[in-house]
Structure 1
Amino acid sequence: MFTLKAFVFAVLLVGALGHQHHPSDPLQAQLPVLVQDPIHARQQPFTGPTWTEKYGPQIDSSFSGPLSFSHLPYARCLDSVDTNFDIAVLGLPFDTAVTYRPGARFGPYAIRSGSRRQRDARGYTLSWAHDPFAEGQTIIDCGDVPVNPFDNALAVDQMEVAYSTLLARPAARNATVNPVTSLLARDGLEHPRIVSLGGDHTIVLPILRSLNKVYGPISVIHFDAHLDTWPAYPGQATEQSRVTHGTFFYLAQEEGLLGNNSIHGGIRCKLANDAEVGFQVISTDDIDDLGIPTIIKKIRQRIGDSPVYLSLDIDVIDPGLAPATGTPEAGGWTTRELKRIIRGLAGLNFVGADIVEVAPAYDNAEITGIAAADFVHDFLSMLMTKAPPAKPGHH
């Protein structure tokens, strides 16, 4: 039986449907139609504006697009012989010389993933009062070195050859305008600088071998929970087993790759015999006893004007703040403390830098990957800043 209530409902329904097909609001009429008649859609050729005409250039969101560090231009630099740059981000996915937990071969991926919210269009930071992407230097992501996962001797050679290949490229900018490395290099030429994404800490041995060809022995600022200056384990000193993520500085000293004014920061391991290799040591506890300004002063005085390489093992950070690492040690520095120390090192003669031992299998909510990516952004500012930045709000 057709009641008055049913009649009213039918009238309202027809009115609502009519409003959908004939919107009276001009703005509403311009919006995309959420649901279309599939038959009607198939019959109509595309006559509307193209993507570029309607929405502009195809710009990746923070969560989309190819995975490069901070959405930087990506190139397979080892193949692209004509690709020049001033600073390259280079992945070294090697982790077959660890002594505890493996997984750092995925570190380059995790660090790049942690950088996805960063981009060159928004690179300015209050703490640095600086935007590393606005300095006119060419910064690109050179991808990963295809490292052999079965033969460590081969892998170390591959990393050395790859690093040396890129280091030998001419810098993209005119060195006579603002020379940096040409004043330090033995050949007097301007060489690019490389920020390496590890990988376990063994990657520093082939890097130091490559840098030695250009600069000779260099100083190292080494942030780590561990010294990494130990000889091979007794009774296990085969040629390959001597090369681990805890022995590479010992080997570098044997090969004459290190200057005698290198320094550790953040050390808190249980083994502390470091005299033979020649590093000075700043312990984790020194941040409480000396304070950050004194630590910065000690590092700067130790390094002086020598060419210097910065190596940052993520386990220098307390595992409560950076759990994804192969050899965690309780009681480390905070992310903020180390970022402040790095800012205080600006103006030293840096020839390269790395961040290592990020093993994302042990991470939670990308805590470690995000922290590592932020350190890399600090490296970019550090490499371009001639003096420590003033405190925000001070001139």
Structure 2
Amino acid sequence: MLATKTLVFSLSLTLVSSRDIIFPTLPSYPTSEQAQQLFHGYGIDDDLFSAFDVPFKGLTTFANLPYVHCLNRNDDTIEKYDVAIMGAGFDTAVTARPGARFGPQGVRQGSRRISPDFAYDISTNENIYRDWAKVVDCGDAPLTYLDNTAALKQLDFAHKLVAGRRANNSEYSTPRILVLGGDHTTTLSALRSTIAHWGAVSVIHFDSHLDSWDPEVVGGGISHYAGVNHGTFLHIAHEEGLITNSSVHAGIRTPVFRPKDDVRNDVRCGFDIIKATDIDRLGTQGIIDQLKKRVGQSNVYISVDIDVLDPAYAPGE
């Protein structure tokens, strides 16, 4: 009986209290004209819309660089450039994990906080995007994922097209191309393009693997098609006369298939080896000095494989 009286008393207090609550009147939804006045009142006009250069807008280009349709073969009015960034989303010539076809878009996404207006380096006192070279992003070369031979021919043509235009800077006739891979096989197309403008070049190859294996070893001798892959492209580049005998690997640390023959073949392809462990003995500057001594005054092509890094810092390699 006491519990019932307590419940009735509590409900009565609740009803009485609720009569004392006054709810505010809800505002009506603004009309289209009122909304425009409201936004203009906050200063959202054309000047403010373009005043702040935010990195997350427009096309996703590397470091928010301007996009130029360098791959348009039918347009002679394309603006000039000195350095062209081009994606090569190709990964069907790997012996392990695919996925590198998504590399170009991943690199671009990771670079979005950089921009030509926010790239001044306090170490070098330079802004490389505001220096002598006009740097642009050309997008990705169209590459089929169903036929490696056809894909490399497509990439050969893309290099020919992008490097075949006149450079913006009058001191340099040929633009340079920075390729975003893609598996390492794509370097073969780059070297085929390079020889047309600079002749055979020395290659500085940052990698944990040699990538100069005989196609009979990596590819199994099954077919010529199978022999063109990310582990043989430097062997093929040597056979095609694209590289000199003053090339060098830096960062080698992985096993080989044939202890003597693989290294012997690598030397035949024109390479010297700087092992990953050599940095403990030589230091950074010592490695740099060895690289420069090896290539001398020759023209140089630099190639970097992500697996040259310690897997602790690049676990997805």
Superposition TM-score tier, normalisation by shorter sequence: 0.7 to 0.9
Question: In 1, distance between residues paired with 2:250 and 2:108?
Answer: 25
Provide the identity percentage. 39
Which residue of the partner structure matches residue 41 of structure 1? 31
Q: Indicate the SS of the match to 1:290.
A: helix
Q: Which residue of 1 aligns with 2:176?
A: 193
Q: What's the secondary structure of 2:85's corresponding residue?
A: strand
Which of the pair has more CA radius of gyration? 2
Answer whether contact 2:55 2:112 (CA < 8 A) is retained: yes
Quickly say closer, same or farther: Cα 1:122–1:231, change in 2 above 3 A: same
Residue 316 in structure 1 maps to residue 299 in structure 2: no
- The amino acid of 1:240's aligned partner reads Y
- Contact persistence 2:60–2:109 (CA under 8 A): yes
Q: Distance in 1 between matches of 2:33 and 2:213?
A: 74
Corresponding residue for 1:210?
193
Report runs of 4+ in structure 1 exceeding 4 Å deviation.
Answer: 1-10
- Judged with a 3 Å threshold, the aligned counterparts in structure 2 of structure 1 residues 41 and 194 are, in CA distance, closer, same or farther, namely same
Letter in 1 for 2:82: D
Residue 244 (str. 1) matches residue 229 (str. 2): yes
1:1-395 alignment runs, 5 A limit = 10=22, 37-38=28-29, 40-42=30-32, 44=34, 46-47=36-37, 49=40, 51-53=44-46, 55-57=48-50, 61-79=54-72, 80-81=75-76, 82-175=78-171, 182=172, 190-234=173-217, 235-271=220-256, 273=263, 274-325=266-317
Letter in 1 for 2:295: I
Distance 1:240 1:60, change over 3 A: farther
Gap runs ≥5 in structure 1: 18-34, 176-181, 183-189, 326-395
Distance change >3 Å, CA 126–CA 36, structure 1 → 2: farther
* Alpha-carbon distance in structure 2 between the residues aligned to 1:97 and 1:45: 56
Q: Which deviates further from its counterpart, 116-125 or 57-66?
A: 57-66
User: SS of 2:126's equivalent?
Assistant: coil
Coordinate RMSD, CA, aligned: 2.5
For each residue in 1:216-246, what CA deviation from the matched residue of structure 2 results, as whole angstroms up to 9, or x when unmatched? Answer: 1001110000000001134424121111000
Distance of aligned partners of 1:42 and 1:169 in 2 relative to their CA distance in 1, 3 Å threshold = closer
The code of the aligned residue for 2:79 comes to T
Alpha-carbon shift at residue 324 of structure 1 (Å): 2.0
Work out the CA distance in 2 between the residues paired with 1:98 and 1:194. Answer: 23
Shift of 1:7: 9.5
Q: What secondary structure, in the 3-state scheme, does the structure 2 residue paired with 1:324 have?
A: coil
1:192 maps to a residue whose letter is P
Query: Matches of 1:283 and 1:222 in 2, distance apart?
Result: 12
Q: Unmatched 5+ residue regions in structure 2? A: 1-11, 257-261
Per-residue CA deviation, residues 303-358 of structure 1 (Å, 9 max, x unaligned), is 12111011000000011111222xxxxxxxxxxxxxxxxxxxxxxxxxxxxxxxxx
> Quick one: distance in 1 between partners of 2:47 and 2:240?
61
Q: 1:137, CA displacement in angstroms?
A: 2.5
Which whole-Å CA distance do the structure 2 matches of 1:171 and 1:96 have between them? 32
Equivalent-residue separation in structure 2 for 1:163 and 1:92 (angstroms): 10
Q: Which moved more, 1:215-224 or 1:50-59?
A: 50-59
Residue identity matched to 1:294: G
Q: Deviations over 1:73-116 (max 9, x none)?
A: 11221115423211111000011100111110000011001101
Report the alpha carbon displacement of residue 172 of structure 1 after superposing the two structures with TM.
1.0
Does the 8 A contact of 1:52 with 1:58 survive in 2?
no
- Is the Cα–Cα contact under 8 Å of residues 70 and 161 in structure 2 kept in the other structure? no
Q: Looking at both structures, which has the greater relative contact order when contacts are Cα pairs under 8 Å and sequence separation is at least 6?
A: 1
Instruction: Give distance in 1, aligned partners of 2:105 and 2:33.
Output: 45
SS in 2 for 1:241: helix
Change in 2 beyond 3 A, CA 1:58/1:233: farther
CA deviations 1:1-57 (Å, max 9, x no partner) are: 9999889875xx77xx8xxxxxxxxxxxxxxxxx9632x324647356484346241
